Chain A
C-alpha cells in the first residue's frame, strides 16, 4: 500500500473561496510542468471584478508568467488570450497581476509559465461570487456631496442666467420684470432638478436592491439525527426555498463527487472543538443526504458539508446540531462508508482534559509530536507557541513517523495523502484542505475536462439522467475493495499511471504540506487525517493566529 502513496503534489489546491466558510483567497501549491509553484489568488468580492494573482516560483527559473481566466460556461475556446503577470520588483521568482472575472459562478485562472526549462501550466479553480455589501466611505461621500451641491446650484444659476441676462444685448441691464422672470425660472429649475435627483436616487436604490438579490447566499440545510432501531443516523436536508428565483434550479441533481464522495461532512463539537468526525452522507433523494453516525459523544456540533457542482462551483452547507447519547453502546455500529472516521480530544480551552475513549488523541501544537492511537506520530514543523500571521500564506507541513521513529509514508485516503480540516474556535472559519486538492480537485478536474472539450458553450445536462449516472458511479465505487478504489480515484485524478503501476513522478516522502492562509486572528484547531495500515488516523493541533503587523 505504501507504494501508492502520493508524493508529487501537482495541484495542491486549498480552495478558500468565499463560498467556503470565512476563508478568503485561494492558495494552490502545484507543479506547472517543470516548475514548482505556489499560487495565491484573492478573488474579488464583487462580480464582475478582478482577482489578484500572485505566483511564487519555488523551483526553476521562470522568465515569463501568463494568466487568463477560463469560465466553465465558455471553456478554453471562449477564453481570452493571457496577460503577462508583472515580476515583483526585488523579489526573484514572484509575479503578480489580475484576471477579470465577469461571470458569476464557476471560474478559474490558467497560469502559464515560460522559463529555462520550457513551458508549464496549471489551473486554479475560483468560485466567482459577489459577497460584499459596501457603504460609501465618509470622505468620498462628503466630497461627492459637495460636488453635487455645487452642480445643483450652478445648474439652477445657469438656467436663471439663460432666461435673463443671457439674452440681453451687451450693456443692457435687467428690468424688474426680467428679474422676476429669472427668479420664477430658477424656482422651476429647482423643482425640476430636485425631481431629477429624486429619480436618480430611486434608480440607485433599485440598482442596489437588484445587486443584493444577486449577492451570494450560502446553500442552507437542516441537519437532524434520526434514531431508527437505536442507530444514530445523520441527516441533512437541503433547503431549496427560493432556488428558482436564484437560478439554482436543479443544482442538486448536477452535483459531482469530489475524490469519490458526493458530500464530505465534518462534525465538530462546540464550544471545545473536542470531538470531530469526517463522514460521507449519501443521497437518499434529491434533497436528502444521510450517513450513519460514528461513536461521537453527545453534545452540540457544528456541521460543515462540502458539495461540488458539475461546473466546479464548490460550496459548504453550515448548520448546528444536537447529537444525543448513543442508546445502546457495545455492539458494532454500522458505517455508511469505510472511510468515515471520528476522534475525541481535549477541549481547546482545557488542555489535557481528555475523556477515556477508544478513539482519543491528545491535542498538539506546532513543533510537538502528536501520537496517534496506533502509536505512530506526526510532527508539525513550526515553532511552538509562536503565533502565525493572519493573511499570510503558510505551508502547514507535517512529518509522519512509525512508532519506532522510522519515516512512515501515508497511504492514500480517498485518493489523497492526507486531509486537513481547519476550524476557528468560534466556528466562523472552516476549510477542508488537501495537499493534492479537495473539492477543488474535482473543480480542477472539471476545468481540465472542460478545456479539452472544444464546445464553445457548455450544455446543461438533463438533471435526472445526470443524477442517475452519478449515483451509478458512486455505487460502483462503493462496491470496489478499498485498495482498488484508491487506485481508481488516483488514476482518475491523474496521479496514478496504470501503465507503470505506480504513482507518476513521485517526490515520495513522509512530509505532507497543506498550503493555507488564515483569514483572521484567533485560535484555530487543525484536524490532520492520515492513513496507515488501512486505518484512518486523526491528529489534532492548536495554533494561535494574530493580525499581521504591517511595518
Chain B
C-alpha cells in the first residue's frame, strides 16, 4: 500500500497548547499598581493645587505619579527585554513582534509608550514654565503629553490584564479550580484598571463636569460623548454580568476615598491672592453618579445581549443618557444647594483659596449655568446623538479588546 505523506494542511498557523500551571505574571500586578499610582497622584496633585497652589518638580503628588511611570516603564520594559533576549519559544509565540526584533505583550507596549511620553513631558514642561510662566492649568501642551502618557500606562494595564485573562481560556482544564480563582482575580484586576482609566477620563474633563454645571446640557453632552465609549468597551471586553458596574464602582470608590482621606491632612495656600483661608486640603469632587446608569446598562446588556451591536447601541446609548440625566440632575441640585451636602461626605463646601468664600453663587446655580427648557432639550438632543456615537464606538472597541490574546 502506497502511502503518501503530503504537506500539512495550511491552517494559517498553529495554536500552541498551554499546559503549564497558570499564574498571573508579576508585571500584571505592577502595571495595575502603576495605574493606581498615576491616578491617585493626579487627584492628590489637583487637591494640592486647590489647597496649596504652588509646587515643585518633586512635590509628593508628583513623586507618586512618577512612581507609577517608573514602575510601569521598568516592569514593562524589563518584560520586553526578558522576552526578547531570554524568553522561551512559548513566550515568544504568545507575544507580538515589533520592528522585527522585540517580543512584547500589547499592554507592555502601551505602558512603555506611556512611560516614555511621561518622561518626555518632564523637560518639556520645565521649559514651558520658564517660557510661558508657571501654569496651573490642567491642559497645557506639556501636561497633555503627560496625561496621554498616563492614559497610555492605564490603558496598557487594562490590555495586559485582558490578554492574560483571554490566554487563561486556552489553558488546559486540569487546574480547574485554580483557573477559576485566577479568572476571578483577573476580573478584579481588570475592573481596577478599567476604573482607574475611567477616573482619569473623568479627571481630564472635570473642569466641565463640576457641580455648578449640573443643570446645563453641556455637562450631559460632555458626559455622553466621553463615558459610554469606555463603559461599553469595558462591558464587551470581558464576559461578566456586572463588568461595567464593577469598573464604575472602582471609579466611585476611588473618588470617594480620595475625597474623604486627602482633606484629613493639613495644607495651607502658598500663593496669593488668598481670599479663602484654609488649613486643610480641599477635596476634589464628589463622583458623578455613573454607577447608576452602569447598573442599568449591565442589566440591559444581560437581558438583551443577543441583539446585534447596532440595536444595542440604540438601547444602551439612550439608556445611559436617560438614567444618568435623571439622577445627576436632581443630585446636582442637592450638591449645589442643600446644606446637607456641605460636609466631608459630599464635599460641597470645598472651595479654591483664590475665590471669595462669600461669592453669591457659591451655593446656588448662577443664571448663566441654567438654561431655558428649549435650550436644555436641544442640548439633551445633542447629548443623545453623542451618546449613541460614543456607545457604538465603545462596542466596537470592546469587541477588539475581547479578542486580545497577547
How far, in whole Å, are A78 and B15 apart by their CA atoms in the complex?
69
- Specify which chain B residues have a CB less than 8 angstroms from the CB of A208 in the assembled complex: 132
Closest-CB distance, A298 to chain B (whole angstroms): 46
CB distance from A152 to the nearest CB of B (A): 10
Given contacts A78-B272, A165-B96, A204-B141, contact A147 B116 (CB under 8 A): yes
Q: Does B240 contact A (CB under 8 A)?
A: no
Q: 1/0 per position for A125-138, CB-CB distance to B under 8 A?
A: 00000101010110
Set of chain B residues within 8 Å of A73, measured between Cβ atoms: 273
User: Do residues A78 and B132 form an inter-chain contact, with CB atoms below 8 A?
Assistant: no
Question: Which B residue sits closest to A134, measured CB to CB?
Answer: B131
Q: Does A277 contact B (CB under 8 A)?
A: no
User: A451 within 8 Å of B by Cβ?
Assistant: no
Q: Is B400 on the interface with A (CB-CB < 8 A)?
A: yes
Does chain A have a CB within 8 A of B124? yes
Complex contacts, B127 vs chain A, CB 8 Å: 134, 136-137, 140
Judge whether A195 is part of the interface by a CB distance below 8 angstroms: no
B106 interface residue, CB < 8 Å from A?
yes
Contact mask B1-18 → A, CB, 8 Å, 1/0?
000000000001111101
User: Which residues of the other chain, B, contact A200 by a CB distance below 8 angstroms?
Assistant: 141, 144
Is A211 in the interface zone, CB < 8 Å from B? yes
Contact A79 B274 (CB under 8 A): yes
The reply to whether A175 and B12 form a contact with Cβ atoms under 8 Å apart is: yes
Q: Is B271 an interface position by the 8 A CB rule?
A: yes
The reply on B97 being an interface residue by CB < 8 A is yes
B144 and A158 contacting across the interface, CB-CB below 8 Å: no
B216 interface contact, C-beta 8 A? no
- A168/B144 contact (C-beta < 8 A), A74-B273, A140-B127 known: no
Identify A173's interface contact among B12, B123, B133, B272, CB under 8 A: B12
Q: Which of A78, A148, A168 is B274 in contact with, Cβ under 8 Å?
A: A78
A338 to chain B, nearest CB (A): 41
Specify which of B117, B123, B268, B275 is in contact with A151 (CB 8 Å cutoff): B117
Q: At the interface, is chain B mostly helix, strand, loop or mixed? A: mixed
Whether A48 and B106, one on each chain, are in contact in the complex, defined by CB atoms closer than 8 angstroms, is no
| B146 close to chain A: CB less than 8 A | no
A residues less than 8 Å from B273 (CB atoms): 71, 73-74, 78-79, 103, 456-457
> Taking the complex as formed, is A155 at the interface, i.e. its CB lies under 8 A from any CB of chain B?
yes
Task: Decide: A48 near B133, CB < 8 A? Known: A168-B13, A168-B406, A171-B13.
Answer: yes
A77 vs B170: C-alpha distance when bound (angstroms): 67
A169 touches B15 (CB 8 A): yes
Given contacts A134-B131, A150-B116, A80 and B269 within 8 Å (CB-CB) = yes
Top-8 shortest CB links A-B: A74-B273, A171-B16, A170-B94, A172-B13, A173-B13, A161-B96, A167-B403, A78-B273
A-B contact pairs, 22 of them (CB 8 A): A71-B273, A79-B272, A80-B268, A80-B269, A102-B271, A102-B272, A134-B130, A134-B131, A136-B127, A140-B123, A143-B123, A154-B109, A155-B113, A157-B99, A166-B405, A167-B403, A169-B170, A170-B94, A171-B15, A172-B13, A207-B140, A208-B132
Residues of A within 8 A of B (CB): 46-50, 69-71, 73-74, 77-81, 83, 100, 102-103, 130, 132, 134, 136-137, 140, 143-144, 147-148, 150-151, 154-155, 157-158, 161-175, 200, 203-204, 207-208, 211, 456-457
Residues of B participating in the A interface, judged by any CB pair closer than 8 Å: 12-16, 18, 53-54, 90, 93-94, 96-99, 106, 109-110, 112-113, 116-117, 119-120, 123-124, 127, 129-136, 140-141, 144, 163, 167, 170, 268-275, 356, 400, 403-406
